[in-house]
């Protein structure tokens, strides 16, 4: 009694219909990433808060940013704001020195309203430069 090789009745593998998938389904991952992208695109402009001013136009190119800059704003009445808090001109350098401590090489952005006098903006810039803050940049709006 010998057994013949082909008719044992036992399956050694899966048929084509029941074979497992070896590929990863990335569709749910892409869907989640697209939703997050839309959420961040909508909320990012809402995160920037500041003093409303009209910036003058310029043809200069934008400067590259490597970290969050310190912003000084001079509104149309000549009031000076450090980030979003109003400060007196006499207190400005002391406040910036406390913020920067040993980081005098970081960039400071000065936003001057188009209606403010040139002398007021230059007084702030001269005060900063005279106290060792050499990287002071004026912010303008692009020409339309």
Nearest to 112 by CA among 74, 67, 70, 80: 74
The 3-state DSSP class for residue 31 equals helix
Instruction: Please tell me the pTM assigned to this model.
Output: 0.52
pLDDT (0 to 100) of residue 51: 64
Task: For domain 57-142, give the fold.
Answer: Nucleotidyltransferase; domain 5 (3.30.420)
Task: List, by residue range, all CATH 3.30.420.270 domains of the chain.
Answer: 57-142
pLDDT in tens, 67-113: 667 888 998 888 999 888 889 888 888 888 888 776 656 788 888 88
- Label residues 38-75 b or e (16+ Cβ within 10 Å = b): eeeeeeeeeeeeebebeeeeeeeeeeeeeeeebbbbbb
pLDDT in tens, 100-114: 776 656 788 888 888
Q: What is the DSSP letter of 141?
A: E
């Amino acid at each position: 009694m010998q057994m013949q090789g082909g008719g044992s009745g036992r399956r050694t593998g899966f048929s084509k219909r029941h074979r497992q998938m070896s590929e990863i389904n990335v569709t749910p991952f892409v869907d989640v990433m697209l939703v997050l992208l839309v959420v961040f695109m909508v909320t990012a402009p809402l995160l920037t808060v500041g003093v409303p001013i009209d910036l003058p136009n310029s043809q200069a190119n934008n400067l590259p940013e490597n970290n969050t800059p310190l912003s000084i704003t001079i509104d149309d009445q000549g009031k000076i704001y450090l980030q979003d808090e109003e400060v007196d001109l006499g207190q400005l350098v002391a406040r910036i020195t406390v913020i920067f401590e040993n980081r005098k090489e970081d960039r400071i952005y000065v936003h001057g309203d188009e209606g403010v006098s040139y002398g007021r903006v230059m007084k702030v810039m001269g005060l900063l430069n005279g106290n060792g803050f050499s990287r002071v940049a004026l912010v303008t709006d692009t020409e339309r």
